[in-house]
Amino acid sequence: MEFSDELECGDEGLLSPPHTHQRTILHLDADCFYAQVEMVRQPELRDKPLGIKQKNLVVTCNYVARSQGVKKCMWLKEAMEVLPELVLVDGSDLTHYRRFSTQISGVAQSLTHRVERLGLDENFIDVTDLVDEYMNATGSSDIEGHVFGDKEPVSMDLVDPCGCGCRERLVAGSLVAKQLREQILKETGITVCAARSIPGIGSTTFSVLKDLGISTVQELQDVPLKLLRTKFDSETCSRLKEVSNGIDETSVKKSGKAQSVGLEDAFTKVNSVAEVKVKYQILLERLLKLLREDGRVPVSIRVSVRKFDLAKRFGHRETRQTSISSSLFPDGVNNVGENTRSSLMKTVMGLFQKMVDTSKDFHLTLVGVAFNKLIERVRKGKDISSFFGKRTREETTETYKYTTDNECKRLCVPLSPEKSSDGHESIREFEQINMDKLNDKSLLTSEPLDPILELESTDCRRVDNNTEDSDLVLKGIDPEVFRSLPEEIKQEVLKTHACPDRKSLTQTPSTSPVKTSNQAGVISIEKSGTIESNGSGHSGSKQLWAPR
């Protein structure tokens, strides 16, 4: 949005909503999230003052406790002095909170895929498509009264699957805004928001704005660009104007699965290797549980510490990470054995030793461990890459025993001159034949010398499997299996075994095509993988057959 210097102070044009409704983004924030989760798990706590503690802090509390003086992030001792009846629940283990957070995001994702998660209890939801669809369906483009559209159909589907009370209604209109403003003024005495409360305006920027006499959002909206440009560049000036008027073109980014999962433990002081090892062991066990719920395999592990400088009274964080072998998780992450646990713990302590000189005194206030670069586990069995390797066939003279219909279908498959992935015709795998062994005697024999390759002649008569000669024709083949074959396969087998002048070729090396003669005609072995039989009034291109 462009802002002009010619706009007068207080110009309502900046405060008016845009003429065209381009995007609709919801910000879903689950209030006192940890407390709500515990109230869902233990309904008897709903009407009691409830606080969630982590270490020595009450990190959040329900509204019953807030109404009696307890505040968020209050020291535990102070909270108990304010309200001795406060019910405390340990919130150190975030497992349940993560599960509920996923459920809340899942509800949003059931409406649209444009959901961006912010921590455990917040989500940005881009519902522009849903609003456009609703507007087109109702044929309305204007705000009706002070409630947008007919909300009854929506309220019918308004459910609370998580039990956390996360429900939304869209309202618009100056009257509603005025009523809300008056109610806030009555209850809190707040009339305007400080510019510091705008996301993106930090302490440094706010300090510069105060030098210009700007301390509220209203003042930032009204200030001319010319005055802002005395302290900021043009891009920053435009950005300040946009955020003060609630304009943000940032797109909602679809949140996928987290790329890492980690845990940290903060404390007042740890100064021995034994204590550190215990801390890391506890974190690692909890982390493996989270990893099991996630189902993915980590590629690397990260270890962190926070060192406390007594002289400066200040702590600084340091982190090291290294890759870990996938062989540590041969069966996935569901059942991690003791060897894997021991190896991971050794890696963790090794990284710790690189960050902390244990030969000297040290003071730590935090340790953490995380798994990074989580990937889906490769399932056992063939994957698609196995079909792109160069295929080879073993030479054999063993007679194949047909056992089932499916096996017969796999074995009796004609070779075709289709290109394989390595650029060679698959039928060429059988083209090399040792012509030293190809003599007249082998051509006239009644039994095949090699079941891999057989010649199919055009003068073979068709034999029905119900004739009296079938036992002789089907010599060496299981009749029961033969009867279960498809009809076309039966005919091919009959033609091959019933032909009195059937020719057989051995699968032996040859480097060039050769022609040889006999009483049945001339047999030509071609590089293309087919065998042509000409003579005695018969001609045609024949198909080679082989087990796959």
**Coarse DSSP helix, strand, coil percentages of the chain, rounded to the nearest 5 percent:** 35, 20, 45
Report in angstroms the alpha-carbon separations of 296 from 14, 85, 252, 257, 333.
49, 43, 26, 10, 7
Alpha-carbon distance of 247 to 221, in angstroms, equals: 12
Tell me the torsion sign for CA atoms 273, 279, 285, 290: negative
Query: In the structure encoding, which two tokens stand for residue 435, read together?
Result: 């012509």
Give the 3-state DSSP-derived string for 455-500, with helices as H, strands as E and coil as C.
CCCCCCCCCCCCCCCHHHHCCCCCHHHHHCCCHHHHHHHHHHHHCC
Residue with tokens 């586990």: 377
Instruction: Give residue 193's Cα distance to chain centre.
Output: 40
How many beta carbons lie within 10 A of that of residue 407, not counting itself?
14
Q: What is the DSSP letter of 206?
A: H
**Could you say which of 122, 242, 429, 532 is catalytic?**
122
- Burial class from Cβ neighbours inside 10 Å (0-12, 13-18, 19+) for residue 495 reads middle
Question: E-assigned strands of 324-461?
Answer: 364-372, 413-414
Alpha-carbon distance of 232 to 208, in angstroms, equals: 9
Question: E-assigned strands of 140-295?
Answer: 260-270
- At 454, is the secondary structure helix, strand, or coil? strand
Among the listed residues 493, 516, 360, 545, the one whose alpha carbon sits nearest the alpha carbon of residue 438: 516
Among the listed residues 331, 320, 255, 256, the one whose alpha carbon sits nearest the alpha carbon of residue 297: 331
Among the listed residues 383, 391, 399, 441, the one whose alpha carbon sits nearest the alpha carbon of residue 421: 391
Known catalytic residue at 122:
yes
H or E element in which residue 180 lies: helix 174-188
Q: Which residues are catalytic?
A: 122
